[in-house]
Amino acid sequence: MIPNATDLPVLKPFRPSSPLPGGERSDREAIRVRGFLSAHEFVTPSPRPSPLRGEGEGALRLGPSHLLFLIAALLLAVGIGQAAAAPAAPSILATLIKWTPLLAQGFALNIAMSFLAMGIGTALGFALGLGLISLHRPVRGVAWFLTEFFRNAPWLVLLFYCMLLLPFELRIGDTIIPLPGWMKSTLGLSLAVMANVAELVRGAVNSIPFGQWEASEALAFTRMQTLRMVILPQCIKRMTPPWMNLYAILTVGTPLTSVVGVSEAMTLTGDILAAENRSELLVPMYLYLLLWFFVYCYPIARFTVSLERRFQVR
């Protein structure tokens, strides 16, 4: 590491107001907390005095008009496909509508998997994150290893791992718990979520000014009490926006399970295309599926941004 490997004077007087009101150390931690997914938070940059345009409004903000744009693209594709279709075939729009209930079923599975994986992953990740900040060195080491391992492994590889190496049913005594494919792949996804949540927890805890720990100690709080009553309540608020980012990313990650044979929206789209066997349907059908995800994820992204903005003010 080269300390201060530059003599650029230009940035000296510029002090970005940290998005986390954590004081000294929070800026770097903020990057760590929020930066790992590098996702929706960049819709609105932190409340730095925006140098290029007034009012802190950077480039064009996305409005509902983009949804219209997307629908227009779909309709255009439908139109082009229609022109290419044989005159006798049913219209493409009618075909899309015909298959919508099936697609909705698949999409419901996607959403269910994302909820479940997020729930399991958050629970495990919270524990792992507390392990990361443990005072006990071996615990910290193990937690660090697990976090880094699952953060660095590609999701698809984790999915394959869980899919192929977990048994199809669990036998505990006399009860048999079946483990269907979607369940196993949900576990695979939640492993990835777990590691990311752990990192979030660690970053959030570290972003709390250390003075608060010392103050609690002075007030005779035990470490456990400090964590539970002082530190974690603040962390939860800080963690919410990046956590929702993670959820959005998880949701767009669920179609990966189609590769390992879970019959969710992506797989069903393939099936529908195979059943219809009309090449002019390819573009509209995939666009239609993309639209489903966009409609689901985009409001989440907007909500995350507004949450971030709200939390910054305080």
Which residues between 282 and 301 bind other proteins (CB under 8 A)? 282-283, 285-287, 289-290, 293-294, 297-298, 301
Q: Among residues 115, 156, 110, which one has the least CA distance to residue 260?
A: 156
Is there binding between residue 144 and other proteins (CB under 8 A)? no
| Cβ atoms of 277 and 16 closer than 8 Å | no
Q: Which is nearer to other proteins, 120 or 166 (CB)?
A: 166
Q: How far is the CB of 314 from other proteins (least distance, A)?
A: 21
Phi–psi pair at 23, nearest 5 degrees: 75, -145
168 binds other proteins (CB under 8 A): no
Shortest distance (Å) from residue 255 CB to other proteins: 4
Which positions from 173 through 232 interact with other proteins, judged by CB under 8 A? none
Candidates 27, 107, 197, 247: give the one binding other proteins (CB under 8 A).
27
- CA-to-CA separations, 152 to 27, 200, 203, in angstroms, rounded: 24, 15, 17
Pick out residues in 222-281 that bind other proteins (CB under 8 A).
248, 252-256, 258-259, 266, 269-270, 273, 279
Q: In this structure, what token pair is assigned to residue 32?
A: 């760590």
Helix-helix angle 265-276:92-132, to 10 degrees: 160
Residue 14 is a binding residue for other proteins (CB under 8 A): yes
CB of 88 to other proteins, least distance (A): 21
Window of 98-106, 152-160, 219-227, 306-314 that interacts with other proteins by CB under 8 A:
152-160
Strand ranges, E, within the chain: 169-172, 175-178
Using rule CB under 8 A, residue 152 touches other proteins: yes
Contact between 49 and other proteins (CB under 8 A)?
yes
Strand partners, 175: 172
- N- to C-terminal Cα separation, the chain: 35
